[in-house]
């Protein structure tokens, strides 16, 4: 394969918060394969998605456009039919472009990957709902073995369903040993649900290891850019479906032997809107002017340092759930959040969906019960509920990384509030964001 046409393999997970990997500082979770991948490549500490839900984020990954411009700003929505997306752009550069697993981008004619379902069969011992069991890596093996030796470069997207709910029943972790973030109410049901989430991640990590071994066995290790990332953060309150960091701050690991130095910790700020432009440059192409994103290839390869000085994100709704539109702009230190309908009543999958064992509504109910007698839990619940949120929020991320102390009324931060307010309004206008109406 020519040096200007590397193979590209993207392992894309679903709902994997960056705080749930060993290489990102979690001392309990078992992710040995992802940790090894980071040790042999680069781990980005400031990677973000501009959308904390599946379809908007994935559509951005494969189009280089922010959600308001590609059209799928609501989850499960359909993008503009006139988009030119990753499959077509990479095929123009000579690539075979294959997706195995979860699509969740529409219309299919616009995202016209060569598609291999490659899904594991349902398990009788775990009647999983709302997602497939996960990627069947035998489909990946078939593609790699059948393509090996071709002169044509390969772009392979392996889109797993893990760790989206319904989570795998835990058989590895002691719930009492887990560390809960401060925006969760600590109840036994919360801990059992979190152990299930950890379990799902660990099982997926095993599949990452199998894919990595296949790449070596079929001769793809030396001339392949291998990337692991996710669409957005974990499915918990104050996370997915919100523009807080637990929803948009994501893991991003890349290995490219001979091009990326092993053990690199890259602190540059990057966004999923820049992902396709970066692939195009890596493949020897150019970045179309109509894209919102730009290539961070130089940063990825260590030739350049800083990339973005701020990122933007948007959430609208997920059908009739999670209807609480937010927009944000985030710098290295501060985040400004605009709530477009602060009068809305808080409802989400967590408060409304009853049939997910040891997660969602029964977790939420234990929080409500604890809040009735525990003032600290009551204060936390008031804080993370969306109803009653102010129009504006401002967070000092150095002092408050979990975004629990709104400083929008702090006179000392008034200049920063004014600057970021104007910056977000300008971005929304540029995007022709429907939230401006």
DSSP code at position 412: G
Average pLDDT for 49-58: 97
Query: Residue 125's pLDDT is what?
Result: 76
Residues 303 and 325 in one domain: no
Query: Residue 350's pLDDT is what?
Result: 85
Residue after which a domain boundary falls, among 257, 277, 308: 308
How far is C-alpha 188 from the chain's CA centre?
27
And the tokens for 435?
A: 């939230």
Highest mean pLDDT among 223-237, 336-350, 380-394: 223-237
Query: Residue 308's pLDDT is what?
Result: 98
CATH code: domain of residue 388: 3.30.1120.10
Within a domain: residue 2? no
Predicted confidence (pLDDT) per residue in 285-321, tens digit? 999 999 999 999 999 999 988 999 999 999 999 888 8
Average pLDDT for 57-79: 96
Residue 336, domain extent:
314-436
Predicted confidence (pLDDT) per residue in 211-256, tens digit? 999 999 999 988 999 999 999 999 999 999 999 999 999 999 999 9
Q: Is the pLDDT of residue 107 over 80?
A: yes
Residues 346 and 241 in one domain: no
**For strand 42-48 and strand 7-13, is the pairing parallel, antiparallel, or unpaired?**
unpaired
Whether the full predicted model's pTM is greater than 0.95, yes or no, is: yes
Query: Residue 1's pLDDT is what?
Result: 41
State phi, psi for 268 to the nearest 5 degrees.
-65, 145
| Number of structural domains the chain divides into | 2
Residues 166 and 267 in one domain: yes
Average pLDDT for 70-84: 94
Q: Is the pLDDT of residue 2 over 70?
A: no
Identify the CA nearest to 187 among candidates 377, 37, 35.
Answer: 377
CATH code: domain of residue 202: 3.40.720.10
Q: Are 223 and 201 in contact (CB under 8 A)?
A: no
Residues 349 and 226 in one domain: no
User: pLDDT-based confidence at 176, cuts 50/70/90?
Assistant: very high
Query: Residue 319's pLDDT is what?
Result: 85
Cα–Cα distance for residue pair 104/175, rounded to 1 Å: 32
Query: Residue 122's pLDDT is what?
Result: 85
**85: helix, coil or strand?**
coil
Within a domain: residue 184? yes
Within a domain: residue 1? no
Q: Are 136 and 119 in contact (CB under 8 A)?
A: yes
Residue after which a domain boundary falls, among 308, 340, 355: 308
Please report which helix (H) or strand (E) contains residue 291, including its range: none
Residues 302 and 387 in one domain: no
Residues 295 and 349 in one domain: no
Q: Is the pLDDT of residue 409 over 60?
A: yes
Q: Is the pLDDT of residue 28 over 60?
A: yes
The proportion of the chain whose per-residue pLDDT surpasses 90, expressed as a percent, equals 85
Residues 235 and 350 in one domain: no
Lowest mean pLDDT among 40-54, 156-170, 345-359: 345-359
Query: Residue 131's pLDDT is what?
Result: 86
Residues 304 and 345 in one domain: no
Instruction: Return mean pLDDT, the chain.
Output: 94
Cα–Cα distance for residue pair 25/27, rounded to 1 Å: 6
Q: Is the pLDDT of residue 4 over 80?
A: no
Classify residue 415 as exposed, middle or buried by CB count within 10 Å of its CB (0-12, 13-18, 19+). Answer: exposed
Query: Residue 9's pLDDT is what?
Result: 98
Residue after which a domain boundary falls, among 253, 280, 308: 308
Average pLDDT for 102-120: 94
Instruction: Find all residues with CB under 8 Å of 297, minimum gap 6, and list them.
Output: 278, 281, 282
């Amino acid at each position: 394969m020519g040096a200007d046409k590397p193979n590209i393999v993207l392992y894309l997970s679903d709902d994997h918060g960056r705080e749930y990997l060993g290489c990102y500082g979690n001392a309990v979770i078992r992710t040995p394969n992802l940790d090894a991948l980071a040790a042999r490549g680069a781990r980005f500490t400031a990677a973000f998605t501009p959308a904390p839900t599946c379809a908007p984020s994935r559509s951005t990954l494969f189009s280089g456009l922010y959600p308001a411009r590609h059209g799928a700003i609501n989850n499960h929505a359909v993008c503009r039919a006139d988009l030119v997306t990753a499959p077509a752009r990479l095929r123009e550069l000579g690539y075979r472009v294959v997706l195995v697993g979860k699509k969740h981008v529409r219309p299919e004619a616009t995202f016209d990957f060569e598609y291999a379902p490659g899904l594991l069969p349902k398990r009788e011992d775990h009647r999983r709902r709302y997602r497939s069991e996960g990627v069947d890596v035998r489909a990946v093996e078939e593609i790699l073995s059948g393509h090996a030796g071709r002169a044509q470069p390969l772009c392979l997207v392996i889109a797993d369903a893990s760790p989206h709910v319904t989570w795998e029943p835990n058989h590895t972790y002691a719930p009492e040993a887990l560390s809960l973030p401060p925006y969760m109410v600590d109840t036994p049901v919360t801990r059992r649900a979190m152990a299930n989430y950890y379990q799902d991640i660990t099982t997926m990590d095993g599949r990452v290891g199998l894919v990595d071994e296949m790449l070596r066995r079929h001769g793809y290790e030396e001339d392949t850019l291998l990337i692991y990332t996710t669409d957005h953060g974990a499915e918990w309150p104050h996370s997915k479906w919100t523009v807080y960091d637990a929803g948009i701050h994501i893991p991003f690991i890349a290995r490219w032997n001979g091009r990326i130095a092993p053990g690199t910790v890259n602190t540059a700020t990057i966004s999923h809107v820049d992902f396709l432009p970066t692939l195009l440059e890596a493949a020897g192409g150019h970045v179309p002017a109509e894209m919102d994103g730009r290539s961070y290839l130089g940063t990825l390869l260590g030739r350049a340092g800083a990339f973005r000085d701020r990122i933007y994100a948007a959430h609208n709704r997920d059908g009739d759930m999670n209807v609480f539109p937010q927009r944000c702009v985030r710098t290295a230190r501060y985040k400004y959040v605009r709530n477009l309908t602060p009068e809305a009543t808080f409802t989400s999958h967590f408060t409304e969906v009853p049939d997910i064992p040891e997660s969602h509504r029964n977790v939420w109910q234990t929080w409500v019960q604890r809040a009735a007698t525990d003032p600290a839990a009551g204060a936390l619940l008031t804080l993370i509920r969306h109803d009653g949120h102010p129009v504006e929020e401002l967070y000092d991320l150095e002092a408050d990384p979990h975004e629990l102390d709104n400083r929008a009324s702090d006179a000392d931060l008034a200049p920063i509030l004014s600057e970021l307010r104007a910056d977000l309004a300008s971005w929304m206008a540029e995007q022709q964001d429907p939230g401006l109406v």
